[in-house]
Amino acid sequence: MPKITPVLMSGGAGTRLWPLSRKAKPKQFHALGGDKTLIQETALRVTGEMFGPPMVVCNAAHASLVREQLAAVGVTPRLLILEPEGRNTGPASLVAAALAAREGCELILLLHADNRVADVAALHSAIGAGTPAALAGALVIFGVTPTGPETGYGYIRAEPGDTRVRKVAAFVEKPDLATARTYIADPDYSWNAGMFLFRPAVFLDEARRVAPALAAAADTVLAEAPRERDAVRLGAAFLRSPAQAIDTAVFEKTDKAMVVTADIGWSDVGTYDAIWAAADRTAAADALQGPVIAAGTAGCLVISDGPTVVMSGVEDLVVIVENGVVLVTRRDHPAAVRAAVAAIQAAGRDDLL
């Protein structure tokens, strides 16, 4: 079997986890309840016999962070692809595929650098199951087994059958709660976690067919992108690329998509409630990281990068102290963080983001 080249997509800003996640240091560069950062965890779970060295797509301003954090866990990237700013996953995916094709990579595995997987062995099993289909020319997507009626994720509906690898029947946008409950009762539905496996040349040919404007933009970007030792720096042409997701630009339009079911303990670590749920907690169900003194509290998440936080007689709060900014909100109200970010922008305080 050929080696799979992982492509770690590390361009997200993670604003749902403000102020822990900010433009200068998004969530993938933080250790959230563990001893390694999310990008380190991601890189380590795609090492071993199946995989070659990874490519990493990241903001140009984060290149040093990527190199330092991956070096700390013994991972040397094959190539860094440096974006001047994020344009969703579509343009970066095509650029990465084209560069992988140039370097002779037979298969690439696209995955987000800021997600968490609890069962790495199950992930490797799913990748192994999808590899023959990808080698045969399919565009493979991994559908995560739902653990509840989640309304914040998109879903994949597989064609009926009893095999693990099946044709994609449809992609379904984020549902309401009642609809989500029907999906999780149906084994044909899975969460779309944004993990893809394919031959670079097949993906590029299909993109030219179903997303010609995006493919043409990627060609222009690469023609103007200089190679700098271990990195390719994308320039002004990238800023003119359509800001599309790979899912909607290619996978929802192709007839080559196949889905592999994957029960891997996946989380996008997208809310403070998700961090609390995955963290080690005290007998009072508090998750405490950094200098914290708690008395008579319950169900709280506290993360401080230095100043001591003292809490007493409160429940279900999130308190984040990061680089001189303090956020206090309810743990079960993730929309409040988005509202806080909107209020900061309205106040003209983009320096806090």
Segments making up each domain of the chain, as ranges: 4-267, 272-352
pTM of the model: 0.93
Q: State how far the Cα of 289 lies from the Cα of 301, in Å rounded to an integer.
A: 8
List pLDDT tens digits, range 220-239. 999 999 888 899 999 999 99
What pLDDT sits at residue 15?
Answer: 82
Element (H, E) at 288: strand 287-289
What token pair was written down for 275?
């961090």
Residue with the larger pLDDT of the pair 13 and 345: 345
| pLDDT, mean of residues 12-35 | 87
Which H/E stretch holds residue 318?
strand 317-322
User: Count of residues for the chain?
Assistant: 353
Spatial separation of the C-alpha atoms in residues 175 and 184, rounded to whole Å: 11
User: 295 pLDDT exceeds 90?
Assistant: yes
For 169-185, write each residue's pLDDT tens digit.
999 989 999 999 999 99
10 Å Cβ neighbour count for 327? 18
- Helix residue ranges per DSSP H, 156-261: 177-184, 200-210, 212-223, 236-239, 246
CATH number, span 4-267: 3.90.550.10
What pLDDT was estimated at residue 2? Answer: 87
Q: What is the pLDDT of residues 104-157, one digit of tens each?
A: 999 999 999 999 999 999 999 999 999 999 999 999 999 999 999 999 899 999
pLDDT in tens, 245-267: 999 999 999 999 999 999 999 99
Q: How is residue 315 annotated by DSSP?
A: B
Matching residue, tokens 């380190």: 40
- Please give the full DSSP string across 6-62, using - where no structure is assigned: EEEEE----GGGTTTSBTTB-GGGS-SSSSS-HHHHHHHHT-STTB-PPEEEEEGGG
Tokens 């992988």 belong to which residue? Answer: 100
